[in-house]
Amino acid sequence: MKRRGGWLAGPYVVWMVLFTVIPMMLVVYFAFTGEDGRLTAGNFARLLDYGAVFGRSLGLAAISTAVCLLIGYPLAYVLSRESEAVRKSAMLLIMLPMWVNMLLRTYAWMSILENTGLLNQLLSAVGLPTLRIINTSAAVAIGMVYNYLPFMILPVLTVMLKIDKPVIEAAQDLGGNQATVFKRVIFPLSLPGVLSGITMVFVPSVSTFIISRLLGGGKTLLLGDLIEMQFLGNTYNPHLGSSISLVMMIIVLISMALMNRFGEGEEEVVVL
């Protein structure tokens, strides 16, 4: 039966080869070659000139991930304790913006944060000083949090809903108050969802370019913007762009591996 059904995987294999394996091979080829086609490591040496961009991208991604965790975890905890009807309604409100194209959502934030936008109009109406947020790193971070917050809430909520109520009741019967039960039972059991959410937010945040271009106004250059400039901008250099892409993929893979490693360790602690 396995041999007879093996051909069903054919379309998947073809898809992976055409759109994953071959593009990856091209990225590696361009990253390690120069314009003359010879092997060189000069492309990676030039990355030292963009250390500030790497630092800014990783820093904003880390800040956005931390804010998403601070907002998403308490919200997921509250929703996990609500009735199913309330939970479904809340999830509908959380997921509703995701039905709109990301570009349109980011344009909406431009109209909110710009100097004459809705936020400053509201502040002026109540007699408060206006804020200059648009075209700053803060605006980029706000855009990241808004767009990727659902990716933090969903995995955390899913894991919390899978926690057996008898486990919580047993902890309460043993004398644990609400804070102790959360610290010793709920939080450790929810860590796999937290680690998954951190990965799902950090990875797209570190590679985004639409949000930084629109809300940062080109003043907050991130890795995604830098890569796009090498392939589509006036400074066309696919070799440098490929080397940046390869380094960024390595950073993402290392981050995912660390999260998986911590997740395995936490699962062992909980079992013990």
Q: Give the CATH architecture of domain 50-229.
A: Orthogonal Bundle (1.10)
For residue range 3-24, list pLDDT tens digits in order: 566 777 888 889 998 998 999 9
Spatial CA neighbour of 117 closest among 137, 129, 100, 134 = 134
Look at residue 270 in the predicted model and tell me its pLDDT: 42
How many helices and strands in the chain, by DSSP H and E? Answer: 15, 0
Q: At what angle do helices 187-207 and 223-232 cross, to 10 degrees?
A: 30
Look at residue 138 in the predicted model and tell me its pLDDT: 93
- State how far the Cα of 180 lies from the Cα of 123, in Å rounded to an integer: 42
Question: What is the three-state SS of 155-201?
Answer: HHHHHHHCCCHHHHHHHHHCCCCHHHHHHHHHHHHHHHHHHHHHHHH
Percent of the chain at pLDDT > 70 equals: 94
* DSSP per position, 63-111: HHHHHHHHHHHHHHHHHHTS-HHHHHHHHHHHHGGGGS-HHHHHHHHHH
- State how far the Cα of 97 lies from the Cα of 184, in Å rounded to an integer: 35
Q: Which residues of the chain have pLDDT under 70?
A: 1-5, 233, 262-272
| For the chain, domain boundaries | 50-229
Look at residue 268 in the predicted model and tell me its pLDDT: 44
For residue range 94-103, list pLDDT tens digits in order: 988 889 888 8
